[in-house]
Amino acid sequence: MTLTQEAPAAGGAEEAVEPFPVTIIVRRFDPETMEEPVWQDFDVQMYPTDRILDALHQIKWEQDGTLAFRRSCAHGICGSDAMRINGRNRLACKTLIKDLDISQPIYVEAIKGLPLEKDLIVDMEPFFESFREVQPFLQASKPAEKGKERVQSVAERARFDDTTKCILCAACTSSCPVFWTDGQYFGPAAIVNAHRFIFDSRDDQAEVRLDILNDQEGVWRCRTTFNCTEACPRGIQVTKAIAEVKQAVLRGRA
């Protein structure tokens, strides 16, 4: 089915757009009553510009209040509502109904590779543990001059600008087949956040982070499948960033 906006009617008035039925199939799991997840379908009335998050809200508020999922800002900034939608990692708040094939059911499930807690909620602690391990904060040996900022040129800032966009949604890391099979791998998001400080001219601890990532579970586990880049809702060139960290491990920070 193809959705199109109706052209304005004669006289300048726009013809009303009616909601239409959409089937959402959610992979449910309740650890208190189930041994394995099961699929459950829901029929909802949606508009073309509604989002998957709106569909989940409608299900939770009007059909089944036990449905569990995370969301906060609902504007693609907090990253809390990352999930698999039709087999791809996406943010539910940024995925529009009109961008999906509604002639078929829409499948929604939790992201992979992290312990499943309930329905669409996973335990994010292993993800954040890897994030913390790469020391994702500015470390400068000399204090800034009193009342002044640390000076940085436009070119120096541009060197790592792309990786400042990370919102820690885990979409990239949980799309990585290496991460699915190896729970010790740092994962793309941790490497992206290391990149952000490795190439920051104000930081003095690039070598420490490079040493952390020069490990059998570090950057060398990346197989360059580009799943992470495709999954990133912020458009970060994740695979490129990982490649740049690999080069820095071999040659030092440029």
Residue 145 contacts by C-beta under 8 Å, 6 or more apart in sequence?
none
- One pLDDT digit (tens) per residue for the chain, 254 residues: 444 444 344 444 556 789 999 999 999 999 999 999 999 999 999 999 999 999 999 999 999 999 999 999 999 999 999 999 999 999 999 999 999 999 999 999 999 999 999 999 999 999 999 999 999 999 998 888 888 888 899 999 999 999 999 999 999 999 999 999 887 899 999 999 999 999 999 999 999 999 999 998 899 999 999 999 999 999 999 999 999 999 999 998 76
Closest C-alpha to 168, from 243, 99, 248, 72: 72
Q: What are the structural domains of the chain?
A: 20-122 (3.10.20.30), 125-139+155-251 (1.10.1060.10)
CA distance 27 to 42: 11
Closest C-alpha to 67, from 123, 113, 121: 121
